[in-house]
Structure 1
Amino acid sequence: MAGQRRTLQDLADAVGLSLAATSYALRGVRGSPETIHRVREKADELGYTVDPIARALASGRTGSVGVSGSLRDLWQQDLSVLVTRALRSRGRYATIADADADPEQERLIVEQFVAQRVDGALVSPVDPTATYWRLLGPEVAVVAIGDALTTRPGSGSVLFDNKYGVDAALAHLAGLGHRRIGLLAPALPSTPGRPAQVLAASVAERLGVSLIEVSAPAATADAVEVAAALLAGPSRPTGVFCLSDSLAFAAYRAARDAGLRLPDDLSVVGYDDHQLAALVDPGLTTMAWDEDAIVEAAVSQLEGPADPPPVFRPELVVRGSTAEPPD
């Protein structure tokens, strides 16, 4: 059979299992660890690889799920890894794409998912109100993480209680005595499904603090310059609330470059509780999500949207980056 493509039947015959048992073991879905290892080892020996086109023609499904987010944000990188693992445990495979906080790039990704005939899509949308989400037909299970896709009825969603998160973060700084607070927000489209910045202004007014709002790129390195401008001058804020930990790390760098000590001269609060938040010095005070529960809620909705959609609330984790403001 030199030069001829090996089939699943060839592999099943070689290991002495049924087609179904061989397929399950190859994907790691069923079978003992020994059987899974034996099947995969024999597949490598025979040079057997899955033909996704043939599988799609035979079953009408590709087994592929598109995963989209702005991957220069550190927390979304971690979330994509967790989603990929959860899909793999269910015998499904992820096609990961970086929207780069750009709606135009996100539209191209949606078109790519359509061309690849993905069975589903798990997305952290840049623009949840965009019409391009309709390009994914009703046969594709779509689940949005963070914001609902308002233009595509029938999509699943996992929603975040950002009102609580913004309130808790600003109340923490105000409770320490900060009255001039900077808000470092990602430069994303302002939509009804993403009210964090609007919420921050109303919460600050209620708490009686002055809020200085600036937008920054999602990437930490690119955001340092914006954070430095926020911290320049005698009227700089005494505390900074960042709507992602990536931006909080940019504030750390900008403060260090300006000769400011955390938390003596400046307090910083992040949002997400990325794994690095506990490792930087001082540890970052931030809002933490239950990532495992979020991923489980999202992946499970590939079988059908939840009604009502689950809503997750972040919790404040206080570390060493916040203290009373300097006199």
Structure 2
Amino acid sequence: MSRQQPRRTLQDLATAAGLSLAATSYALRGVRGSPDTIRRVRELADELGYTVDPIARALASGRTGSIGVSGSLRDLWQQDLSVLLTRALRSRGRYATIADADADPSQERLIVEQFAAQRVDGAIVSPVDPSASYWRLLAPEVAVVSLGDALTERPGSGCVLFDNEYGVTAALRHLQELGHRRVGMLAPSLPSTPGRPSEVLAPRIAASIGLELSIVSAPAATTEAVTVVSALLADRGRPTALFCLSDSLAFAAYHAARATGLRVPSDVSVIGYDDHQLAALVSPGLTTMAWDEDAIVESAVGQLIDRSAAPSPFRPSLVERGSTSRPPAG
């Protein structure tokens, strides 16, 4: 019977690398050391079969190295952003625990409770309900950064601010300049979700530029949203353009238009919000509002690690493709 090999320790790795314990730990996490040293230490760790014991590290340092990442992952853009956040955190020696809030405040509360129970070192969240009191369940020493909306009930949290007023104005003005007057706006929210800034801003902006705007709440899941959009497009007084507050909803609008015998953009224009990587691959290409995702991720992770870092607002830019045109005559 073969005897089980003893667990390799950090001291074993440090001895093999010819470094101090501290230098070995820093190199292993990619926190400090030259690129060659970091690569050599990680290669030696693989050769020796060394793995970090998270319990031991937590007991020794009071930290788990785990960062909670929460968002509504049916949305394609939030899926991609979660991947980028995971990579950025890993490069800084942190490890992401990803949770899906599913655009539901009650589910989001359970996630916050779970993060608190797991004693995460920090959290980066795309909040469903930024005004909820449950954000205070995360202890003050836990660094929290929200994306898009400030957590009003948890003062001191970091925030990556989105200039949605600029984005909504640019999207609606683009449609207005093409000649549209009746516009439907699809908002990815549930009835239990409080009004979000974009939905609040849109009616005022639309009125100021002479647009008749109707706001429809659509499920976050693309396939479920098709039914909602199809009903909107089947109405006799249907809008001539759809402004979708996520590219996921815009893709649902494409499908719904085809299902109701309409063509994009000759019968109905569609404009999205995110510039997901699929936006350039659908036919016609989706006109949408694009964010600098790399800069957003860098800002979020930077504020998480350095809580004194000041947030800066991000402004989206209009990317014109083939999904918008002048409205049909008559």
Query: TM-score if structure 2 supplies the norm length?
Result: 0.93
Q: How much has 1:306 moved relative to structure 2?
A: 4.1
Structure 1: 5+ residue stretches without partners? none
Aligned equivalents of 2:208 and 2:237: distance in 1? Answer: 22
CA offsets 1:48-99 (integer angstroms, 9 cap, x no match)? 2111111011111111111111111011111111111211221211111111
Query: Does the C-alpha gap of structure 1 residues 267 and 178 become closer, same or farther in structure 2, counting only changes over 3 Å?
Result: same
Aligned equivalents of 1:182 and 1:305: distance in 2? Answer: 41
AA at the equivalent of 2:124: L
| Equivalent in 137, 141, 144 of residue 142 of structure 1 | 144
Contact 2:104 2:193 in 1 (8 A): no
Q: 1:304 maps to which residue?
A: 307
Aligned equivalents of 2:32 and 2:223: distance in 1? Answer: 44
Structural RMSD (CA):
1.7
> Does residue 248 of structure 1 match 2:250?
yes
Aligned equivalents of 2:308 and 2:240: distance in 1? Answer: 44
Contact 2:105 2:193 in 1 (8 A): no
Q: 1:258 maps to which residue?
A: 260
Q: 1:52 maps to which residue?
A: 54
Q: 1:211 maps to which residue?
A: 213
AA at the equivalent of 2:45: A
Describe the SS at the equivalent of 2:216: strand
* Percent identity of equivalent pairs: 77
Aligned equivalents of 2:258 and 2:100: distance in 1? Answer: 30
| Equivalent in 74, 89, 92 of residue 90 of structure 1 | 92
Contact 1:154 1:305 in 2 (8 A): no
Describe the SS at the equivalent of 2:325: coil
Q: How much has 1:312 moved relative to structure 2?
A: 1.2
CA offsets 1:227-284 (integer angstroms, 9 cap, x no match)? 1111113321110000000100000111112221111111001001111111111111
AA at the equivalent of 1:304: R
Contact 1:223 1:247 in 2 (8 A): yes
CA offsets 1:96-117 (integer angstroms, 9 cap, x no match)? 1111111111111111111111
| Equivalent in 110, 113, 116 of residue 111 of structure 1 | 113
Aligned equivalents of 2:51 and 2:255: distance in 1? Answer: 47
Aligned equivalents of 1:3 and 1:34: distance in 2? Answer: 29
Counterparts of 1:1-327 in structure 2, within 5 Å, are 2-188=4-190, 190-191=193-194, 194-302=196-304, 303-307=306-310, 309-327=311-329
Aligned equivalents of 1:200 and 1:134: distance in 2? Answer: 30
Describe the SS at the equivalent of 1:50: coil
Aligned equivalents of 1:248 and 1:39: distance in 2? Answer: 47
Aligned equivalents of 1:233 and 1:295: distance in 2? Answer: 41
Range with greater deviation from structure 2 (40-49 or 3-12): 40-49
Describe the SS at the equivalent of 1:311: coil
Describe the SS at the equivalent of 2:127: coil
CA offsets 1:143-199 (integer angstroms, 9 cap, x no match)? 11100000001111111111111111111111111111111111245546x221121
Q: How much has 1:292 moved relative to structure 2?
A: 1.3
AA at the equivalent of 2:4: A
Q: How much has 1:296 moved relative to structure 2?
A: 1.2
Contact 1:56 1:62 in 2 (8 A): yes
Describe the SS at the equivalent of 1:213: strand
Aligned equivalents of 1:12 and 1:109: distance in 2? Answer: 38
Aligned equivalents of 1:65 and 1:313: distance in 2? Answer: 26
Query: TM-score if structure 1 supplies the norm length?
Result: 0.94
Range with greater deviation from structure 2 (235-244 or 80-89): 80-89
Aligned residues: 325
Aligned equivalents of 2:212 and 2:79: distance in 1? Answer: 33
Contact 1:64 1:118 in 2 (8 A): yes
Describe the SS at the equivalent of 1:145: strand
